[in-house]
Amino acid sequence: MPYRPQSNRRLARRRDTRLRFDRLVEDALAEIPERFRPYLERVAIVVEDWPDEQDLAEMGIPPDDTIFGLHRGPPVGYHDGMTAPPVITIYRGPIEAECETDAEIRREVRITVLHEVGHFFGMNEDDLARLGLA
- Evaluated on CA atoms 120, 121, 124, 127, the torsion sign reads negative
Percent residues over pLDDT 70 in the chain:
89
Q: Which of 129, 44, 56, 60 is nearest to 93 (CA)?
A: 56
pLDDT in tens, 46-69: 999 999 998 899 899 998 899 999
Angle (CA) 112-117-120 rounded to 5° is 135
pLDDT in tens, 100-121: 999 999 999 999 999 999 999 9
Total structural domains within the chain: 1
Q: How many residues does the chain have?
A: 134
In angstroms, the CA 4 to CA 13 distance is: 14
What's the confidence (pLDDT) of residue 4? Answer: 47
What residue numbers bound the domain in which 65 lies? 5-130
CATH of the domain at 53: 3.30.2010.20
Q: Which of 107, 92, 119, 133 is nearest to 28 (CA)?
A: 107
